[in-house]
Structure 1
Amino acid sequence: MRVPFPTARAATIDPYDIAAVAVQVLLGGHDGQIHELTGPEFLLPADQVSVLAKVLGRNLHCHGMTDAETREEMDRTMPTEYVDAFFNFYGDGVLDESHVHPTVRNITRHEPRTFEQWTRAHGHEFQGPTANVRTPS
């Protein structure tokens, strides 16, 4: 798998955990508060590809794209201002998403789901249109 910004770590959060926090916030008691949400661990893109490979039982490899490759690919699909922002955030290190915050646990009283747990719950979505096609015997 080709990945941009291969050295950018991120504490990826499961959308399930975002929803669980949102429910609690909407129930009240959080007026004026800003909650930083993260997953329970920070991972490099190569770590995420390794988890996908393990869970899916597939031979996947991570290829970190160069800045030039990343910019060329991004320039084809988004405005220059967005591309520049991504490079500012991840390339220059302005945005650091590697910090793990206890917010999900503190608000919901349950541990946030890991990237592996998310992958196991959604692994079927990575199988492709021919995953369930059987050849006649």
Structure 2
Amino acid sequence: MDPQLKAGDAVRAPFAGVPIAVIDPADIGAVAAAALLRDDQRGRVLRVTGPEPLRPADRLRILAGVLGRDLRLDAQPDDEARAEMLQNMPEKYVDAFFDFYVAGSLDESVVTTTVRDVTGRPPRTFEQWAAAHAASFAWHRGSRSC
């Protein structure tokens, strides 16, 4: 459980303006299994994405709808995000994140058809993922304890 969701309805997140075509981990697993088991996938580089690019506020709005909560995004300034990230990971990784998302050297908003091409079904949406994992957030319905 995200401690921020447990504490209240405001979620502080970096890179608020960056859209990402987030992928359901189950879709990654389905594509990986096909890549390992099927000869037609051997040796291919498979870039998997979700079905649509979403900014952090979009994902939070979807999660709020699933959970029936009035969640709101508090965009974290870059300097604060950098300082917080440096507490948890090596500087070269933090620099990479800022190169990707602030300098724009990586565009993860591009949607691919890989999940559909490999599995025969569309990738799951963030809303489907959130609904499937709503029980993980069940503490919000009663007391705020897990």
Q: TM-score, normalised by structure 2?
A: 0.85
Q: Find 1:104's aligned residue among 111, 115, 123.
A: 115
| 1:8 matched residue in structure 2 | 18
TM-superposed deviation, 1:127: 3.0
Describe how 1:1-137 pairs up with structure 2 within 5 A: 1-28=11-38, 29-128=40-139, 131=141
Question: How much is the aligned-residue C-alpha RMSD, in angstroms?
Answer: 1.4
Distance in 2 (alpha carbons) for counterparts of 1:73 and 1:87: 13
> Which structure: greater helix fraction?
2
Ranges in structure 2 where 5+ consecutive residues have no aligned partner: 1-10
Show CA shifts across 1:11-50 (max 9, x none). Answer: 0000111111112112222122111100001100000000
Q: Considering only CA atoms, is the larger Rg found in Structure 1 or Structure 2?
A: 1
3-state SS of 1:104 partner = helix
Number of aligned residue pairs: give it. Answer: 132
TM-superposed deviation, 1:113: 0.4
Ranges in structure 1 where 5+ consecutive residues have no aligned partner: none
TM-superposed deviation, 1:2: 0.4
3-state SS of 1:10 partner = coil
